Chains A and B, each alone.
Chain A
Amino acid sequence: MSEQTVTVETARELGLLPEEFELIKKYMGRTPNFTELSIYSVMWSEHASYKNSIKWLKTLPRKGSAILAEAGTENAGLVDIGDGMACAFKIESHNHPCAVEPYQGAATGVGGINRDIFTMGARPVAQLNSLRFGNLKHDRTRWLIKGVVKGIGNYGNAFGIPVLGGEVFFDESYNMNPLVNAMSVGLVKKDGVVSAISKGKGNPVFIVGSSTGKDGIHGATFASADITEDSADDIPSIQVGDPFQEKILLEASLEVIKTGALVGMQDMGAAGIICSTSEMSEKGGHGMRVNLDKVPLRQKNIEAWEILLSESQERMLMVVQKGREKDVEDVLNKWDINYAIIGEVTEGDFLEFFFHGELVAKVPASTLVLGGGAPVYDREYREPAYYKEYKKFDINKVPEPQDLIEVAKQLISHPNIASKRWVYEQYDTMIGTGNMTTNFPSDAGVFNLKGTNKALVMTVDCNSRYVKADPEVGAMIAVSEAARNIACTGAKPLAITNCLNFGNPYNPEVYWQFVHAIKGMGAACEKFDTPVTGGNVSFYNQASIGGKEEAVFPTPTIGMIGLLENKNHHTTLAFKEKGHMIYLIGKSHNDIASSEYLYSYHGIKQSPAPYFNLDEEHRIQTALLELISKNLVQSAHDVSDGGLFIALLESAMPRNLGFDITTDAEIRTDAFLFGEAQGRIVVSVSTSRETHFIDYMVANKIPFTALGHVTKSEIRVDDVSFGFISDMKQVYDTALEAMVTGQPAK
């Protein structure tokens, strides 16, 4: 083993701390060579090791009767959904690549998360995404959103997976750091799950899929540092996606599983070959001997460490039972997919890599991975000064506007409220013929489980403005809103996956946000009985421009799945016909804190999280599910961004209906219409069911108010006309497109 001399300076250049370098030397009993040090640098990067987050992640509720694979044990969470079937699901970020190359960054994000699902033997059936961008007035923001949306679309559409839900949010805090979180949901027979494990001395190791190139080297390390003026120089760190190869890899992998010859498999994601070989080996308690000369390469002059760290996409590592190679090869040949046997399983703990006949690296697998030898840190945190400042907000100091119609119009055309049609029409939302919301729009994505009475329901949610204002309450709201969206379809929440997007963890104020968000999330997950099945932590979402650090809003995105036990109870958000009564479940509050209205219309950016009560929220959702099961409501839609008025409008638009409502004299009209107090759901009730509805609500002491009724097309508030639904809809549908393209939409 030769190569360049390694010092603490080399370690620092690779993103390792001096104490980490010492620890490596201790584990190895010697100074590592450059290849070995590179291995540790990626495996111990934040992205792969969770070293600054794992302590807190472990405080989240992770157990539940339906949980088949607990967080951290497999590539994605696995939940029992009955009938012998399980749902594998996970959310992951691809923020850093998207900040410098939005198209490929987003495309490979979609590819990566889907591989996490099918590496477990599950067929991906639905995709969701949660996107955050800066101010749309900036050219850079428009370049980013166009690239990201095209990247997600082109990859997912060709791979063949429908997008069933998502969110898009704009705020200045994301100007430099967009967030791109992709979630995939797959289905697998409970007895067909494949583990990411390597064991059995002598078993051959296959690499399957794309050839390995220099793309994505140090991608995991790149994702574990701030974005700077020079980040564009890191473009070679960004991978290039090939959805066709991914589709072939999916079909071939699922067919290989059927042969029964597989011991285990894991895709090559962050940190490439080294990550898959070490994680699989550690899990199986074996070692591995790999000949890097056998790895199919797409370019010459590539070093051993580059092969090990390459994040070339669409690759899978398979450990196969010795003697069954041909069964696997037959399938791979049928699909004309590239593969090579690159090594074999050995006894012991060592990963040994050979290149040009030389042993270039020899490292103990257990020292590389999370839960093994990777460092775990307890970071200090400190309450930022702004937190108390925000709480000083006083609604009485905010003048109530004269013209609320003008406010309504401004909100409807705000990119955070307006229809995201420009985005989602670029995604295939119907492939797989399982999307039940194309013709029956609902608060969450609903996927038909063909041949059963059930449907799988899914959503992604996080209002990061609330989290900034109050990380603990904001994260509770994120979980509650996700559960509320699931409940509005008639389904019961099952479990969550999370994507934790924060700034630099070494900044105590950022870390304070992280710690409190975890606390809030944990409390809400306990309440809704939705264990955390895994996910992804993305730190360093902050830009250092001209020496000034600017972190994004803390954004703990929640991906939740639920189960609709009876498809006949699938409830949509749409008002059904003129004359139906409109009710608000939950209480109205004199509250405009952190609302889009306060933030955008008044320009007041410092206020606490909106009204929220976890127990109340849970009671209301439980009541809604009962109302739905008793067929007492015609539609259900939660009150969220933009407040009650926007919720009513969204319920009215699908069928071009209007509404006529009365506000509450006790509450400011602007707060009544546009405030974002939590725990509220708009339902419509047919006249024939109204008595039963009221009886139920009164008997169960659930707070509710009669708002008014559905009209043919006019919108009236306290007997004042706000105009007609078709005009509002026109603005709502086209505002975002006009802003993104700079042209009026067709």
Chain B
Amino acid sequence: MKFGVVIFPGSNCDQDTVYVLRDILEQEVVTLWHKEIDFDGNIDVIVLPGGFSYGDYLRSGALAKFSPIMNRVIEFANNGGYVFGICNGFQILCETGLLPGALLHNMNQKFICKNVFLTPDSKTTALTTHLPKGRALKIPIAHGEGRYFADRETLAQMRINGQILFRYSDENGIVSESFNPNGAVENIAGICNERKNVFGMMPHPERASDDELGNTDGRLIFESMIKYIKENG
């Protein structure tokens, strides 16, 4: 499969993502500079990586939305292409409207970086279908604006459509406010769009994909995605 990893000025998880996809998962990867508007049409998945695009001084993702490449990403998604936003990528996808809701400042008003546990919710998406059953995943977070918010109607709709990918939980999969690191509504850590081809999550699966770092739970998410897309196109 072929992945395109977008690099905005200020992206800083782009090389980590490329390393996991190319060196660990042995996929074909191209990087896409934010000024590129004519990229290869054979890309299967576009990844928007973590970082502080354009400094994120205004509101995370608010400027990246106007970047030249984003019109093409939106077009790509509207044509059914897979788009995966991690952390800042998730924020950008919410800013563009490809994903519902918004990411607010963490409840404690501080940046938080630590391992957390995620429990998959929807079982029918590319990211979650092939995850091991009945076990929470240990994946790190690293963000200042990661508190997911959507209004009640949107949330209800998302639940019905199976758009909630992950919720923060404890290591046994128990979802409770005590295990919510940032105050996200309903402990939501990741979501997808109604069509299930655009994904966003605040935790960083690429940081939990290398055996040498002692945690490969994140790799399971990429592997699920690759397997699903190979099977379902």
Contacts and interface: CB of A to CB of B under 8 A. Distances in A.
Partners in one complex: yes
Nearest to A157: B111
A432 B114 CA distance: 15
A432 B51 CA distance: 11
B161 interface: no
B213 A439 contact: yes
Given A432-B16, A433-B16, A433-B207, A438 B214 contact: yes
Interface string A240-271: 00111101100000000000000000000000
Interface string B45-74: 000001110111100000000000000000
Given A154-B111, A244-B55, A436-B213, A430 B142 contact: yes
B193 interface: no
Contacts of A432: 16
A335 B9 contact: yes
B129 interface: no
B177 to A, nearest CB: 10
A438 B213 contact: yes
B111 A448 contact: no
A284 B149 CA distance: 58
Contact of B114 (A243, A335, A425): A425
Interface string B29-45: 00001000000000000
B112 A425 contact: yes
A216 interface: no
A244 B10 contact: yes
Interface in A404-459: 425-436, 438-440, 448, 450
A153 B112 CA distance: 10
Given A158-B55, A433-B207, A247 B12 contact: yes
B44 to A, nearest CB: 23
A611 B165 CA distance: 57
User: Which of A429, A431, A450 has most chain B Cβ within 10 Å?
Assistant: A431
B interface secondary structure, majority: mixed
B214 A157 contact: no
A439 B215 contact: yes
B55 A242 contact: yes
A305 interface: no
Contacts of B95: none
A246 B168 CA distance: 33
Interface in A220-257: 242-245, 247-248
Given A159-B12, A426-B111, A426-B113, A431 B52 contact: no
B86 to A, nearest CB: 12
Contact of A425 (B19, B55, B113, B206): B113
A436 B211 CA distance: 10
Contact of B213 (A244, A248, A435): A435
A567 interface: yes
B156 to A, nearest CB: 29
B52 A243 contact: yes
A433 B19 contact: yes
Interface residues of B, number: 34
A426 B206 contact: no
B205 to A, nearest CB: 11
A77 to B, nearest CB: 25
Nearest to B218: A433
A109 interface: no
Contacts of B54: 244
A336 interface: yes
A531 interface: no
A105 interface: no
Nearest to A154: B111
Contacts of B215: 438-439
A439 B214 contact: yes
Interface string B180-208: 00000000000000000000000010110
B52 A158 contact: yes
A15 interface: no
Given A248-B9, A431-B13, A426 B112 contact: yes
B20 interface: yes
Interface string A155-172: 001111000000000000
Contact of B56 (A158, A159, A248, A433): A158
Contacts of A431: 12-13, 16, 50, 142, 207
Contacts of B51: 160
Interface string B1-32: 00000000110110010011001000000000
B111 A436 contact: no
A426 B110 contact: yes
User: Which of B50, B112, B113 has most chain A Cβ within 10 Å?
Assistant: B113
Contacts of A438: 115, 140, 213-215
User: Which of A153, A425, A435 has most chain B Cβ within 10 Å?
Assistant: A425
Interface in A367-393: none
Contacts of B140: 430, 438
Contacts of B111: 153-154, 157, 426-428
A427 B140 CA distance: 13
Contacts of B110: 150, 153, 425-426
A433 B140 CA distance: 11
Given A160-B51, A440-B214, A450 B19 contact: yes
Interface in B91-147: 110-115, 140, 142, 144
9 contacts: A157-B111, A244-B57, A247-B9, A336-B9, A425-B114, A426-B111, A430-B204, A433-B20, A438-B213
Given A157-B111, A425-B113, A433-B210, 6 more contacts: A150-B110, A153-B111, A157-B142, A425-B114, A428-B142, A440-B214
Closest 4 CB pairs of A and B: A160-B12, A244-B55, A439-B214, A158-B52
